[in-house]
Amino acid sequence: MSPEPREFERTNTTVLNAALMPLTAGYLEDLQQAAGNDTNLHLCHSAGGMASIAAMQDRPLALALSGPAAGVAAAARIARELGLTQAIGFDMGGTTTDTCAVIDGKVQVDGNQRLAARPVRQLMVAVESIGAGGGSIARVQGQAIRVGPDSAGANPGPACYGFGGHQPTVADANLVLGYLDSEQLLGDSVRLDSQLALTAIRTIAQAFDLSVQEAALGIYQVANANMARALRRVAVERGLDARTCTLIAFGGAGPMHAVALAREFGITRVVVPKFSSVFSALGCLTAELSYTEQHAVRISSTAWQADEFEDIRQQMYARLARPLTAAGHALDSLQARHVALIRYAGQSGTVEVAFTPPADHNALDAEFKAQHQRLYGFMTDEPWELETLRLTVSAATGNDINVPVATAAPATMVAPETQCWFDRDRSVTTPRYPRETLAAKQKIEGPAIIEDQWSTTVVPPGATAWSDLSGHIHIDTGGAA
């Protein structure tokens, strides 16, 4: 399960995987039978790729965090499509927010994780998750507003759903601020109730002698502050300057908060992908088939053993390529990503160093020191140790979603207007644009709301939005808030 150092983590990994096997085996067998035994079913695994059911039956622990992993895979795909070298994925749903870094179009992963409060050695996407979403409950705590981590869920849900919920939530705040449209059906059946949202938010307003709109704005801002902390941790851990990154916003609620969150960091560009509300599902559809393995190596820079290292690498490649070639992919069509995990002697953590085989000692030395300098602000000429080799072998699925948009704006397009609150002093008349009516390169000056049946994008004053040929919305945030 985990041929790497650290026995306690290896034991936890093996025990948790064994405990999950009987729970998942029956489910996966039923799933395969329902689809037909001749159907090749694949599952998204925790490192952001797809793998066969047969592979996952033996390693069900690799399915943990697979939902967020699919969204990260989709964000990486968009980053590659748009040529973004540094991006941060921002996935805000109804209950949680997941943030992740995408560097050079690649999913960032981490082999040191905690599941059920136990440390495990399982490769997973490096995601920072917090309890902040559209259903997060707002309450008075002392002299402040607290938002989350508890959620109203889908049932009863936010007060504005009209399903019996009465506690104020982030979704209620967005409705009171005018970002959500009470006249539009959510999906096919739910119409938001503004009066129920106002009643719920009023409990917060009365506690601080605020107007309902001021209280709603406070809830919105506190939720953004919570998410900003998660985004900051992701950027710091990967050695990124958030100001140079592009924020890729998805999930049902992400595009409503994206520009405000970006401005907290001085991020100047936000991308709201096509199909942003079902982006994780899109990630499953378009992700590569991939298999990953980590193996202990323990080779010192002062006693470099190139032949031994290459033998280990070739054996790993053969194992990982086998299920892909068995599925019909030509060996010469496979892609491989090699990462050496290196540390200075005495360090507990490692630095990821990508390389092209055969591994060159001098190239590894230079790249390790450069990465160490970038991450920690220093490097030395002390000996280092290559602790672990990570290898991912993948094959493209050929699945893609590209729905072109109109190249010219409609001759006459009258956008209905609404009143939105972007600060506590006054509301602003704001047009609402149906997303499907936007033509490529058509500029939308903020304030504006861009909406489709499943998601809403908020373009505040000072920001400018436009749609590209693939239907992705790009927003120039106008700088810091």
Whether the ω angle into residue 149 lies within 30 degrees of 0, i.e. cis, is yes
Angstrom CA distances, 39 to 4, 36, 62, 248, 327, stand at 35, 5, 22, 34, 12
3 in Cβ contact with 298 (< 8 Å): no
User: In whole angstroms, what is the distance from residue 57 CA to residue 70 CA?
Assistant: 19
207 in Cβ contact with 140 (< 8 Å): yes
One domain, residues 214 and 299: no
User: In whole angstroms, what is the distance from residue 235 CA to residue 223 CA?
Assistant: 19
**Residue ending a domain, choose from 223, 247, 268:** 223
Residue 337's CATH number: 3.30.1490
Nearest to 277 by CA among 251, 247, 249, 248: 251
* 88 SS3 class: strand
Q: What angle do CA 462, 169, 249 make, to 5 degrees?
A: 45
- pLDDT score, position 65: 85
One domain, residues 214 and 298: no
In DSSP notation, 428-465 reads: EEEEEEEGGGPPBT-EEESSEEEE-SS-EEEE-TT-EE
Tokens of 101: 């870094």
Domain extent at residue 299: 290-395
Q: Amino acid identity, residue 211?
A: S
Whether 131 is in a domain gets the answer no
In DSSP notation, 378-413 reads: ---SS-EEEEEEEEEEEE-----------SS--S--
- DSSP code for 177: T
Number of domains in the chain: 2
Whether 283 is in a domain gets the answer no
Q: Who's near 240: CB < 8 A, 6+ residues apart?
A: 86, 88, 101, 103, 234
Whether 331 is in a domain gets the answer yes
**Residue ending a domain, choose from 223, 253, 269:** 223
Whether 328 is in a domain gets the answer yes
- pLDDT score, position 201: 97
The overall longest dimension of the chain from CA atoms, in Å, is: 73
State how far Cα 441 lies from the chain centre. 26
Whether 431 is in a domain gets the answer no
- pLDDT score, position 184: 74
Tokens of 455: 């998601």
**Residue ending a domain, choose from 364, 395, 426:** 395
Angstrom CA distances, 337 to 293, 307, 314, 423, stand at 11, 19, 13, 47
Whether 34 is in a domain gets the answer no
Query: What are 372-413's pLDDT values in tens digits?
Result: 998 899 999 999 999 999 999 999 876 666 655 555 555 456
**Length of the chain counted residue by residue:** 481
Which of the residues in the chain have pLDDT under 50? 411
- pLDDT score, position 183: 79
Whether 463 is in a domain gets the answer no
- pLDDT score, position 404: 55
Whether 240 is in a domain gets the answer no
Query: What are 432-456's pLDDT values in tens digits?
Result: 999 988 888 889 999 999 998 888 9
- pLDDT score, position 405: 54
- DSSP code for 169: B
- pLDDT score, position 224: 96
Strands 269-272 and 246-250: parallel
pTM: 0.89
- pLDDT score, position 164: 92
Phi-psi group of 398: left, alpha or beta (phi > 0 → left; psi -120 to 50 → alpha; rest → beta) = left
